[in-house]
Amino acid sequence: MKRILIFVLLFISIAMNTMQAQENDRTFALSERVSVERVHFRTRFGTTLAGDLYKPKNAVGKLPALAVCGPFGAVKEQASGFYAQAMAERGFLAVAFDPSFTGESSGEPRYVASPDINTEDFSAAADFLVLRDDVDPERIGIIGICGWGGLALNVAALDTRIKATVAVTMYDMSRVTARGYFDALDADGRYELRRQLNAQRTEDARTGSYALAGGVVDPLPEDAPQFVRDYYDYYKTPRGYHPRSLNSNGGWNRTSALSFLNTPLLAYAGEIRSAVLVIHGEKAHSRYFSEDAFKLLRGDNKELMIIPGASHVDLYDRMEIIPFDRIETFFRENLR
């Protein structure tokens, strides 16, 4: 009997420690106004995505629901969870999820990104949400942060179940991969990039391993540009560091860039009929991605919002800077 009691107490201790670890596994404090549940759902490509479902406490009835992902190379315990929790505090059910091949989601080889698979990740999250008894299937929205902003616009052009999209501090990952920052990479540069990446494929095939591209540079060079310093301040310090974050650690599988070279993400952005809100910081190095993407959008239900004085990374977690009031109003106007 004593041995059974010890076993039970040990089990309870382990369970409590696990729960506590999950509670403390985020880069932001948990809100007392929401409940959080770990969830899993499948994609059409066979991967299982891990998510954190944030729900307003004491909520009743069918709620408007949001799927949230990003930044590119981050995990759900970072900015996407921060956004999901903030929206749950405002009455939405929101799931922040790890993309395929990253974080706690499945997929081999690890740390691979792909325009088609990562677009599917958002649609798989929509699958998960529309089937829930506490969700109104006609009121589904998405929030994409950084590189997931461009992916969010891609899925908005594809998935008609998504009625409203917010793209925050977005990157067009196809454009920046194929053309470099500010379109500085020409055809010769792209050829050299392809040559290097395919040489890496050969090496990976030879060794049976997959080289990583490296996360945010560490230590920080003295001559690092401001946006690199901003990334360092988020991913490499207690503010935003996470042990499963690619950007905080070893980075993406190096050959992931191949799939973005030949696959333009925004080819059909002009055909998005649902509502879109594009948000970017005035001082962000990446601002041109949002401004150029917005030029592709058509219809009166599209809006570009530039946040005065904000950098790219400010919109990851600066509660006093992120326009959550406008985001809430946008979704309430368009998810009805």
Bridge-partner residues for 253, per DSSP? Answer: 212
Mean pLDDT of 244-264: 96
pLDDT tens across 194-225, in order?
999 999 999 999 999 999 999 999 999 999 99
Name every residue whose Cβ is closer than 8 Å to that of residue 191 and which is 6 or more positions away in sequence: none
DSSP letters along 202-241, please?
A: HHHHHHTS--B--SS-SSPPTT--HHHHHHHHHHSSTTT-
Percent of the chain beyond pLDDT 90? 93
Model pLDDT for residues 64-86, shown as the tens digit of each residue? 999 999 999 999 999 999 999 99
Residues 153, 157: Cα–Cα separation, whole Å = 6
Work out the pLDDT band at 23, boundaries 50, 70, 90: low
Asked if residue 15 has pLDDT above 80, the reply is no
**What CATH number corresponds to the domain at position 149?**
3.40.50.1820
Domain-located, residue 327: yes
Query: Residue 45: its pLDDT value, please?
Result: 97
Whether residue 205 lies inside any domain: the answer is no
pLDDT digits (tens, 9 = 90+) for 139-154: 999 999 999 999 999 9
In a domain, 224, yes or no: no
Confidence class of residue 121 from pLDDT cuts 50, 70 and 90?
A: very high
User: Contact 117/100 with Cβ under 8 angstroms?
Assistant: yes
Count of domains in the chain? 1
Q: Hey, is 56 helix, strand or coil? A: strand
Is a pLDDT exceeding 70 seen at residue 17? no
Residue 118 inside a domain? The answer is yes
What average pLDDT does the structure give for the chain? Answer: 93
Per-residue model confidence (pLDDT) at position 13:
36
Q: At 187, which amino acid appears?
A: A
Per the structure, the complete domain to which residue 113 belongs is given by: 29-180+265-334
Could you read off the pLDDT of 268-321 as tens digits, one per residue? 999 999 999 999 999 999 999 999 999 999 999 999 999 999 999 999 999 999
